[in-house]
Amino acid sequence: MAGHAGFVEADNAEAIITRIEHKSRKIESLLKQYKPVEALKTALEGSPPKTRDERCKSANWIVVHRAIMAIKDVEGMFSSLDPEYYDILMKYLYRGLSTGDRPTCDQCLRIHEKLTERAGLGCILRSLSDTVNTV
């Protein structure tokens, strides 16, 4: 998704982990500056990691989860989040819902409602039907 500079080899799990760690630090600093939307964009960039390695996927999910949970004003988020992020955000919302964790599900459902209003059922279909680029 959203043009990340470094395309990563599928087997290069260590490099991906390093990149996710770097992303995580960047997100923390953005959250400290009260820029939750910027943090979410950073988290979604280069996602999903182009690998089948579950460890990388989990690491990336933790980072995205952190950014999703920091969103307080959902309407406000959508006024500055570009449509190119919608499809990948939907995928992570479903991953959040699959955890079954109460606060995560609450937050994901709240965003899901607004995202569906904006991006339509097509967005949900894309996240359900893509079995290759799973998050």
x/- binding map, residues 73-102, to other proteins, per CB under 8 A? --------------x---------------
Closest contact distance (angstroms) between CB of 94 and other proteins is 14
d(CA 119, CA 100): 24
Question: Tokens 């470094």, residue?
Answer: 6
For helices 13-32 and 36-44, angle between their N-to-C axes, nearest 10 degrees: 170
Question: What is the x/- site pattern for other proteins, positions 106-125, by CB under 8 A?
Answer: -------x--xx-xxxxx-x
How many residues make up the chain in this entry?
A: 135
The owner of tokens 């999703």 is 68
Query: At its nearest, how many Å lie between other proteins and the CB of residue 77?
Result: 18
Least separation in angstroms between CB 42 and other proteins: 23
From the CB of 112, what's the least distance to other proteins, in Å?
A: 11
Compare residues 61 and 86 and give the one whose CB is closer to other proteins: 86
Q: Are 16 and 56 in contact (CB under 8 A)?
A: yes
Distance, in Å, from the CA atom of 50 to the CA atom of 7, rounded to the nearest integer, reads 8
Mark the segment that binds other proteins (CB under 8 A) among 6-14, 27-35, 63-71, 126-134.
Answer: 126-134
To the nearest 10 degrees (0 to 180), the angle between helices 54-69 and 36-44 is 160
Q: Site residues (CB under 8 A) for other proteins?
A: 87, 113, 116-117, 119-123, 125-126, 129-133
